[in-house]
Amino acid sequence: MANWVDIGVIAVLNGLAIGLLLFVVAVGLSLVFGMMDVLNLAHGAVFVAGAYVAWWVVGGSPTWTGWLAALGVALAVGALAGGGLLLMTGPLARRSHLEQALLTLGVALVVAELLSLAFGEDVRSVSPPPGLGGTVSVLGNAYPAYRLLLIALGAGLAVAAHVVVERTPLGALVRATVADRDMVAAVGIDARLVRAGVFVVGSMLATTAGVLGSPIYSPRPGLDSTILILALVVVVIGGLGSVRGALVAALLIGQIESTGRALLSDLASFLLFGSLAIVLALRPRGLFAGAIGGQH
């Protein structure tokens, strides 16, 4: 019996860490899709680029300086990637989702191939910052210290994103642009700047998540599509353009992923897509789509 409880505590903590990381990845994807109608299938590749930055800068000999440098480089890479994708998808703004998906999927494949060429085909493990490589005791269970830091950082980022989007004038502008960008332009605001800002910040969050997640999700070929699929499931379940929806969905998917793997490892993917199917059957526009309204 005690064994089940121990598995439970560890699975819940793992789910929390994965869920918060997924939120940081997915919130940018959700806002970009909700606001610009651009389905950015290169978002997973942007995350992986951040993870490779961590391996390249930190590698197997971690220092705090190295970790901070990796975060700095990843933010710059994220800004460049966001800017580049923005320029590429701009001309397709009024075209179909299929055309945008083909373009960004092509970008994702090219980036993934370039990353493989640059960093090789091997799984690259990244060590946590000094002092966080060991375990601490949580309710009598040994638990990796770095994952607790990840939970704290992820929670901090989630709270910050929520406060900025839901409680500030800048966030009101983002919500208004998600709901009806034409009316944002009609009050004299250049909506292109809002869209560019969200695209770039969303990509910077993805590379940041890539660095923070690299000790758990070791960078390797194929990780980009794993992360992209998880993020897309979060966006679909949470509802497009909803920060609160993305948070709830990410925490839910985190728990399904980790508890599923701990208890029924053969059925983990089934649980993930089964829950997606249930949400789509009951609430086709996502759990929080009601708050977005039916403007489109």
Partner 1 sequence: MSLRVRDLRSGYRQGEVLHGVDLDVDRGRALALLGRNGAGKSTLLLTLMGLVRPTGGSVRLDGRELAGARTDQIARAGVALVPQGRRIWPTVTVREHLVLANRRGGGGRAWTIDGVLDLFPGLAVRRRHVGWQLSGGEQQMLAMARSLLTGPSVILLDEPSEGLAPAAVDQVASAVRTVIDGGVAVLLVEHDLHLAFAVADSVAVLARGAVVHQVDTAAFRRDPDTAHRLLGVAT
* Chain positions contacting partner 1, by CB under 8 A: 169, 172-173, 175-176, 178-180, 182-191, 291-293, 295
- Residue 1's Cβ-count burial label (10 Å; 0-12, 13-18, 19+) is exposed
CA-CA distance, 192 to 295, in Å (whole number)? 20
Nearest residue (CB) to partner 1, 132 versus 161:
161
- Cα–Cα distance between 249 and 235 in angstroms, integer? 8
* Rounded Cα distance, 183 and 205, in Å: 28
Nearer to partner 1, 187 or 281 (CB): 187
DSSP state of 128: P
> Which of residues 91 and 131 has its CB atom nearest to partner 1 in the complex?
91
- Judged by beta carbon, residue 85 or residue 173, the one nearer partner 1 is 173
Q: Which is nearer to partner 1, 139 or 186 (CB)?
A: 186
Chain centroid offset of residue 112 CA: 17
**Rounded CA separation 148/151 (Å):** 5
CB of 168 vs partner 1, minimal distance in Å:
9
Beta-strand (E) ranges in 32-147? 135-138, 141-144
Least distance to partner 1 from the beta carbon of 93, Å?
13
Q: Closest separation between CB of residue 235 and partner 1, Å?
A: 17
Determine contact, residues 104/85, Cβ cutoff 8 Å. Answer: yes
Backbone angle region of 131, left / alpha / beta, with phi > 0 → left and psi within -120 to 50 → alpha: left
179-214 b/e (C-beta count within 10 Å ≥ 16 → b): bebeebeeeeeebeebbbbbbbbbbbbbbbbbbbbb
CB of 246 to partner 1, least distance (A): 14
Least distance (Å) from partner 1 to the CB of residue 280?
22
CB of 68 to partner 1, least distance (A): 36
Complex with partner 1: residue 214 or 242, whichever CB lies closer: 242
